[in-house]
Structure formats: structure tokens, C-alpha cells
Structure 1
Amino acid sequence: MNHNEATHSSTPLLEVSGLGITLNTHRGPAQAVRDVGFTLARGETLGLIGESGSGKSITAMALMGLLPESATTQGSVRFDGQELLGLSDKAMCALRGHRMAMVFQEPMTALNPVHTIGNQVAEPLRLHQKLSAREAREAALALLDRVGIPQPAQRFDAYPHQFSGGQRQRITIAMALACNPDLLIADEPTTALDVTVQQQILDLIADLVDERRMSLILISHDLGVISQNVDRMLVMYGGTVVESGSTAQVFDHMAHPYTRGLLAARPRMAALGQNRARLQTIRGTVPELVDLPRGCPFAGRCEFTTDACSRERPAEQTLAPGHEVRCLRPEAIAAEHGAHA
């Protein structure tokens, strides 16, 4: 039985509680992540969504043990019952690429330009599964074939620059899946690709997650991508989770004004066909991490802002089982939304 078939399936694969991350910047310490918490069951898919600077990617880096050395953390990150924060580099390396894997936004940052793609896909198989060179090559060829690289045997000894952007991303997915991890983190995996290739990559990830019964954390700034690919979602802003719930719950009842702003700002083909149509925007700008307001991070950009919003950090409120929001005025926002429905 492999680790994906563990008998203690009632225990969450991933438990994050009170996660805080502080970065050292030229302007002083910046709270990049504040009090983030969630659980991820085995085989479950979770989306993290928000604008650049909202804390999505750095949360993922903390899970993978890839934070800058100067970063400080607090709280707890437990993977299959093991605490990851403070774990030694050696112990973290044994997990990373084996039981936890990550697909990055730009594949050229994950691929070494001076090594063949075959060697890069085979490396985790040799390192973590102790396969011989021949066994690793055979397994790597099967992986490259599964992710859609044409003629993998002929291209095994090619270099990253000899592939298209979509093919390079497929290669990084093959690398991530080499050891059949329990958890796959995909950080904006389609940002640099054209629309057709984007959908192919998302479909490939969904198929592989289902085939291998992996848990998935999908990071995106696009609500459309999140709505179609995950069971649950966390909306992040200013390093904080401002709304969370099942994907269906959040889309049926968007309780935080930031979540609604993200949806309103999405381009729609019907609207784009009208000459007078303008994309809606969220007023104001994302605050710098060193200048976050003491209270709600969205204070000032939200039309429902009161003085209390700038003074008091909202506590998490439960709207329905599994659906939470951090807002001081959810009733007023719901009433306003109902009046315009």
C-alpha cells in the first residue's frame, strides 16, 4: 500500500492554524500573512484566490519550506500529523518532491536550462524512490507521455529552451508528479500561457489529481479558474483570509465586498462586445504590507467602510456551516446586495 492509501483517512492531510509570516524589507518588517488557518482533506481540492500581494504564494512557500531565511513564522502547519514549521532542511527535503510537490507559475524558473528535461524528470525518482538509472528513465518516459509530450523517447535528451511554454509547463507537472505525492500545489500554473493551452493544462491537472487521488491547492487570481477546478476556496487580501467556504457556497452568496469586487472585475465576452462597456474596477490600490491598516485590510477600498473598520480587525463570522467571512458589516452588505438583486 502506498502513502496515498493511508488507513487514517479521517485525519486531515494538511492542518494550518494561526499561520503568520513576517518578511524583512528595506522599510522594516512586513506582515505578509496574518492568522491564516484551514484544513485540507485527502483527495480534496482547495483554491487560494486574490490579487498580487494578497499572500497566496507566500502561504504556499511556507507549506513547502521555501521561505527566505530572514522570514519569521508563527502558528502551525501540520502535514499528515507532522509539524512542518521549524523542521530541519534535511527532513523538509525528504518531504518536498516526494510527498509534497509544487508547480510554479513560470516553468523556466523550475527547469534548469543546462540539464536535459529527461534527467530533470528522472532525478526525483532516483533521489526519493532509489530507482536505477534505467528504471528512472523508463518511469520518466511514461510520465512525459502521460502529460502529453509528443515522442518522449526522442525528446528525452532535449533541453528546456527547445520546448514551447505549454510543453515546459507539462514537463514541470511531470517532475512534480514523479513520486506520486499526496499534495500538489499549483501556483498560477497557466498565467504565462495562451487561453487554449491554459485550459489544456488545467484539464490535465484535474485529470491527474483525480487519477492519483491527490490533494490539490490551486492558486489563482481568476475566479473563473477557481470556480471550475476546486471544491473549496479561500479569498485572500492583505495577507488575511477574508472569506472561505465551499466553492458553491461562496459563489451563491458572496459575503465579502472584496470577493464581489473580484467577480465584478472579471471581463465578460458579452460586455466586451459592446463599445460602451467598461470593465469594473476595485477603487483604490492594494496597500503595501508595511502599511496595512490596523483593522480590516480592505478598509478604505470598500464602500461600506466605517471608522470601526480602520480600527478593529474583524473576527471570523460563520454565515453557514463551512462558510466564514471576516467583516464587521456582513448584514449591511447582504442587505445592499439583496436590494440590487
Structure 2
Amino acid sequence: MLALSSAELLRYNDDRHVWHANIGPIKTQQLLNLHQDLFEIVNSNRQDGDKAKPAALLDAYPGIGKSTAVREFGRDFHIEQIAIRGETTPGGHRRVPVAYIALTGNTQIRGLNAAICRFFSLPTSGDADTLAARAVDAVLSLKTSVFIIDDIHFLASPNSSPTRMVNQLKFLSNTFPVTLVYVGVGVQARGILSEGRSLSEALRAQFGRRTTSLTLHPFQVEDEAGRAQFRQLLLTIEKKLVLAEKYPGMLADDLADDLYARSSGHFASLMALINRGCYRAIRSGHERLDVELMKKVKNDAAAEEARLELAAAIEAGLLTARPQPSAPRKTA
């Protein structure tokens, strides 16, 4: 770095900022388990086109990495399908195994269908039925077999009944011959997977019978297995950092407790904290992460709110993110 000109150093540092902001996805055990479940659900859905295919719902807290994990699954599934079936369909079209649709606030059925059409670069004029027919034609022509619907908690409004959301999701499963993978926050809490006696509750029960619920949990350090997983995550991230004064154990040993307290085990909060720390380390010429530098780095409001209680528990010796050393074996 000392041999670089001022302009070269600016460009190099800018490249490092971009690199640190885009680290991942990281193949944590949670992500690997989720991918295994999704592949099992999707690849076992070999029913004929006139039969509804069971769906998957990934419902978890914000900041866990749901969208990243599911997009990575979609990428892996796409690559697998192209390897098996080729890049083009028998009709000569480009094969598109996976469609990814991210919803926005208060989405209705027409908006949902329009979002699907936009993914396939189709016109978005017309009513809901016209858009659905247009999208189905694309799905059949391009041999799409998986729909990832992100942020499904935006379907309708927060004040609308669960039955309305279920009706919209049921419309999707009945209209498109694909496996639906829903991603959202607090979806189960709205009761759409629960059974009951009334007509609306029976509808929710039917949806629940066709939907497998999955989740991702924050990292926890309350037992040795959790601490070992968190340490492995920090070691993996540490290897990817591009800092001149980086050293083995910089994150996993010297900053483990601090990083856990400040992220509360949420992946998004952790990565934002490390990314901003790297930016500050590069801009200041410090070129490493340590407690003093990280004290100056701001993180998201939710993580900062949970920080005080976790930091107090760590300081009191009631909690630690560092695995305990194994006791030496006794020899005869």
C-alpha cells in the first residue's frame, strides 16, 4: 500500500469498501439446514400440473438473513436445473427455473400479478386476471418451477383479516404450477396456518396443511454448541476481511463478546457493524478492528437497544460468546 500513488490508494480503498459491504452469503449451519429443507420440499414436488404443490413458508425475525438465504437457495436451484435440463427449453426459450418477487406495502392481487409480470419483463397493463394469464403463459414457456415471494407480510394491509391473505396465497397456488416459497415476518402470528371451525378458519387450515413452516434463528451463545457456531462464523468473516493489520483471532478471540453484545446474534446487525468498522479502519489508517475503534461505530437501533442487557451479562461473567477450553484428558 505504501508503494501506491495517492490515486491508486484511493481506488484500492474504494474497492475494499465495496468488498466489505458485499461479504457473503456465508454458509452457516443454519443456512445449510434451511437449504436442505427447501431442496427436499421443492425436488419432491413432482406432482402433475393439475395438482396443487405443497409450499414452504420461511417466517423469522427481521435481520436474520432470510432474504439472502432464500436468494442463495434460488441461485443454487437455478444452477442445478440448468445442469440437468439445459439452458433452453424444448420450445427453444431460455429456461428460467426460479422467479423471485419482492412485494411492497399493501400489495393486492393485481399488484402481485403485476410484480410477477415485471419479473418476466411482460407488460403490466390489464386487470388481475389478464396479468395472471400472461404470467402463467411465461411460466409454462420458460419452465419455471419455483416462485420465491419475499415480504409476503405486505400482502393486503396489516389491519386486513388473515382470511384475505390466505385467499391471495391460495390464488397463487391454484393458478401457477410451481412450488411457492414464501418469505415474511410474523406471518404465522397472524394465524394463517391455524385450524378452526368457521369457514375462514377452515380455509386457513387448508392452507396450513399445504404449507411447511421453516425459520431461521439468531445466533445464540447460551451453550457450547451455540458458541462454537458463532466462533466459526466470526472466523469465516475474519478470513474475508481485507485489512493490512488483520491477524488471526481478531474477531473470533478479541472481539467475540463485543460483537455478540452489539448484534444480539442477528446476522444483518453483525455484518453492518463489521462493514462499518472496516470502513472506519481503512479511512483512519488503523487497518484493524479492535474494541476502541468499534466503540465509535454506530449500529442499528434494535441492536443498540438490546446491547445494554447483553453487555451487562457478559461483564458480570454470566454470558460469553467465546467457547470454553476443553479440559485436558486425564492419563493413567
TM-score (norm 1): 0.36
| Structure whose CA Rg is larger | 2
Q: TM-score by structure 2 length?
A: 0.37
In terms of fraction of residues, the more helix-rich structure is: 2
Higher share in strand: 1
